[in-house]
Chain A
Amino acid sequence: MSPAEILNKLTVNFNYVVAMTLFIIGLYTIISKPNLIKKFMGLNIMETSVFLFVVSSGAVMGGKAPIVGEGVSPGTVFVNPIPQALILTGIVVAMSTTALALALIIKLYEQCGTLNADKLKEIK
């Protein structure tokens, strides 16, 4: 592939590129930030980035939301509904993980008095 082709692909798939960049930003936050709440914000960014990728992959040029109704003519092009159905589940799962993680963080703080991962390592 020539550089021009790659550039063209990158602009057409800009959503994908942004999604992957967000994925890396989230991962960076988890690895490098010592604060546990911050780590979980990073994880949430990662999760939404995967969701963004999946929803974007279901988009179709000129597609309408997949709702059949009276105002919709028979020949309408719809977007792919499966990614939407999957991500609805994904959002719920992400919220559940966040709720549990924050509950753990609260308990951890009550017990140890700090949320800094480096300081927590020293408590044993």
Chain B
Amino acid sequence: MLEFSQHCPVLMTITLLVGAALTPIVSRFRKKLSFLWAMFISLLSFFFCSCATWRLYSEGPISYWLSGWEPPYGIEVRFDYVSTITFLMTGLGVLIIFYSRKYIEHEINEDKFSLYYTLVLLLLCGMVGFSVTGDMFNLYVFLEILSLSGYALIAITEEKLNAMASFKYLVMGAISSLSILAGIALLYNVTGTLNMADMALRLQQFPPILTSYVALVLFVVGFSVKAAMFPVHIWLPDAHALAPSPVSALLSGLVIKVGIVGMIRILYTVYRLGGNINFIPVTNFMGWLAAITILIGAFFAFFQDDIKMIFAYSSISNIGYIVMGISLVSFTQPEKGYLGMVGGLIHIFNHAIIKSTLFLCAGALIYKTGFRKLSDLRGMGKKMPITCGALTIASISIAGIPPTSGFICKWYIILGAIEFGKWYFAAALLIGTLLVFAYYIKIVNAIFFREPNEPITKVDEAPMSMLIPIVLLAIGCLVLGVFAYLPLAVIRPAAATILGLPSTYIPGG
């Protein structure tokens, strides 16, 4: 007999899945019902996720065997410390669905409302399922659910350029999914199993052959596209800037992180540090690419005028920070990679919250004024003080000024880089930070201290349903920064278990 909380990892995925399947039927009764239904489903899923997280920190990782078949014969759902990201996903999902109610009236046709909520639920379902699964092929299936719904959410509006942005994303995304599938196929033939833990064991048993290395490269390439790393980031700016703002918040905050979670799973769960396949050249290469990604993203963001375009390029830059953090590892001394790993993982959480806040604020500004260019938004700070205040808090956080949350992760990543003697990485990171600082100053300056071009008289504060999520997220940014030990307590066991250390590991202790 299983306890209720043991069912939670799979229940939270299935709730979203069935909820999505029922949304079109529910909305047939009454159009308005689809919003309430999506709220209900996402809250339910958030509740299940909280139960699972609570159990994780009280009793350790949950391993759930679907249909009762023990792995490697059946599919295993594994809720471990990395899976805590689902807490963020479902939580942000609730806020973003709440925010959508008013906003989508502005950008989407009325008869597509129920489709919009269905797709958002499917996107959440894909992300949650992806993050908790312990089976390689299951990972691919959920990856497809989330990618497909992501492509469609960009093209759901009638704007001219959206279909093109979505198509670009689709072509690159489909190739990357295929490369991941090919990697799974190769690895299956090397090991004969699909369960991640079992795969890791079997990889150690056989002498390494070329196939395992090629599979690793295919995986890394595939997940780099999903995460928008430097040479394959070109789909991101258009897709994230043109999508409806709540969708941008989901895509930028969470969907690109899925690529990072995939990389962590492949590198540190399947190939494993200290095993018989040395992947340090790959992570070194990733580190270099990450440094370039940081600089490129920040550099292009600096020259944009479209407010959402700035945030989209800034996402690229921030993915660079995260990848740099998780790629700073040593093969034989796992403790050495601890600081960088903690920094990278915290930044996943921080960036998700900060970037969602930024996109939601941008959405509120666009909803009220209809402008998206920074030069048109001058002086909005006096008209919409709460939205612009939240925007400022998020901007300060992402620039990494000490009391805010953006500071901690960068500090840890710099410490990690210095640990490895890679001062040039630290330098790239600092230059990136300076650029970020510059362009967020530019935004704050334009919004608060510049006079509007022509007086915008009729603009007032955004509606309540948009303000509540924005304010909650902005408070989240502040809390994570001031009480930095909270996220650290959550992240520490995750970073330690990824590196193969005991979950209670503390450096120097």
Contact = CB atoms under 8 A, between A and B. Distances in A.
B141 A89 contact: yes
Interface string B164-182: 1011001100110110011
Contacts of B152: 100
A107 interface: yes
B155 A107 contact: yes
B248 to A, nearest CB: 19
Given A43-B175, A50-B178, A96-B144, A112 B160 contact: yes
Q: Majority SS of interface residues in chain A?
A: helix
* Interface residue range, chain B: 20 to 34
Nearest to B160: A111
B189 interface: yes
A25 interface: no
Interface in A106-124: 107-108, 111-112, 120, 123-124
Interface in B134-169: 137, 141, 144, 148, 151-152, 155, 160-161, 163-164, 166-167
Given A86-B137, A100-B151, A105-B167, A30 B160 contact: no
A34 interface: no
Given A47-B178, A104-B155, A104-B163, A30 B144 contact: no
Contact of B189 (A27, A57, A96, A107): A57
Nearest to B147: A97
Interface residues of A, number: 31
B185 interface: yes
A10 interface: no
Contact of A107 (B141, B151, B163, B182): B163
A24 interface: no
Contacts of B164: 108, 112, 120, 123
Nearest to B166: A104
Nearest to B185: A54
A30 B334 CA distance: 41
Interface in A47-94: 47, 50, 53-54, 57, 82-83, 86, 89-90, 93
Interface string A5-49: 000000000000000000100010010000010010001001100
Interface of B: 137, 141, 144, 148, 151-152, 155, 160-161, 163-164, 166-167, 170-171, 174-175, 177-178, 181-182, 185, 188-189, 194
13 contacts: A30-B171, A36-B167, A43-B175, A53-B182, A53-B185, A57-B185, A97-B148, A97-B170, A101-B170, A104-B151, A112-B160, A120-B164, A123-B164
Enumerate the 5 nearest inter-chain pairs by beta-carbon distance, A residue then B residue, closest first.
A108-B163, A54-B185, A107-B163, A93-B144, A104-B167
